[in-house]
Structures are given as structure tokens and as C-alpha cells.
């Protein structure tokens, strides 16, 4: 049983989904009304969320904790903001619901979310 659990855990840590969520930036005036697909400003490629809580871009130029990225949505273009803890937790729930097709079922989506949240809780 322990081995099976460990496999699920490591699979979740390596799984990636496209990052589709509202802006988690501090005091963002959008107040998480708009759900967007995110891209990396340095390379203009799509950003993915990994089960270990890291974000990485398609180009592969950066991979680090979602807490260490800075976000600029259409409401504050070019002004990169740190994620707000509550806004990020809320936005991640939306991210999972927006990418249901990437998960076998709701349970897998929630397991993925739990792993990402562990990273957020230890990095903020
Ligand atoms: Zn990049
Ligand atoms: Zn914003």
C-alpha cells in the first residue's frame, strides 16, 4: 500500500497542466474575475503548472515555485506583482476546475491541487 501511495505521489509531482487561472497578484483590480491562459513574458510561450507547485514555461527557460513568479494581467500590464496568498489559493482552485480534461477524474484533480498547495504553504 505504501508503495502504491508513493507512486501516486511522485506521478502527481511530475504531472503538468496548462496554467489557466485568474490573476493572483497582490491587490489586482480584476479581483479574479477573468480567467486567462498565462504566458512567460521572457519567451512568450505558454506557462504550465507542475504537481510539485512549480511553474515552468514551454520554452523551459524558468522553473520555480509558483510563489516566486510575478504576475501581470491585462489590468496592470508590465507591472509584475507578487501573488497574494489568499488570491493564489483561490486561483488554484479555479485552475484545477478549468483544466478538468487533464485529469482522470475529480479525485485526481484534487490530489494534484493538494500537492500544489503544499508547495504554496511552505513557500509563502
Ligand atoms: Zn520562458
Ligand atoms: Zn492582475
How far, in Å, from the CA of 61 to the mean position of ligand 1? 4
Cβ within 8 Å of residue 82, ≥6 positions away = 25, 26, 70
Q: What is the pLDDT of residues 81-119, one digit of tens each?
A: 999 999 999 999 999 999 999 999 999 999 999 999 999
Number of other CB atoms surrounding residue 80 within 10 Å = 12
The band of 2, judged by pLDDT with boundaries at 50, 70 and 90, is: low
Residue 9 reports pLDDT greater than 90: no
Per-residue pLDDT, 124: 86
Tell me which residues have their CB within 5 A of the ion that is ligand 2: 23, 25, 28, 73, 75
72 C-alpha vs ligand 2 centroid, how far in Å?
5
Distance of CA 26 to the CA centre of its chain: 16
What distance in angstroms lies between residue 109's CA and the mean position of ligand 1's atoms? 25
Q: How far apart are CA 95 and CA 20, in angstroms?
A: 5
Domain boundaries, given as residue ranges, for the chain: 16-119
Which pTM does this prediction carry? 0.92
Confidence of residue 77 (pLDDT cuts 50, 70, 90): very high
Amino acid at each position: 500500500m505504501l508503495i502504491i501511495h508513493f507512486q501516486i505521489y511522485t506521478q502527481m509531482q511530475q504531472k503538468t497542466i496548462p496554467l489557466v487561472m485568474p490573476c493572483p497578484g497582490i491587490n489586482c483590480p480584476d479581483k479574479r474575475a477573468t480567467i486567462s491562459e498565462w504566458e512567460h513574458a521572457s519567451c512568450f510561450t505558454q506557462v504550465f503548472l507542475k504537481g510539485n507547485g512549480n511553474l515552468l514555461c514551454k520554452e523551459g527557460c524558468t522553473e520555480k515555485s509558483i510563489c516566486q513568479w510575478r504576475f501581470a494581467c491585462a489590468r496592470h500590464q508590465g507591472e509584475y506583482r507578487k501573488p497574494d496568498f489568499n488570491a493564489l489559493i483561490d486561483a488554484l482552485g479555479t485552475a484545477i476546475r478549468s483544466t478538468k480534461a487533464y485529469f482522470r477524474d475529480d479525485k485526481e484533480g484534487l490530489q494534484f491541487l493538494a500537492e500544489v498547495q503544499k508547495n504554496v504553504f511552505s513557500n509563502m
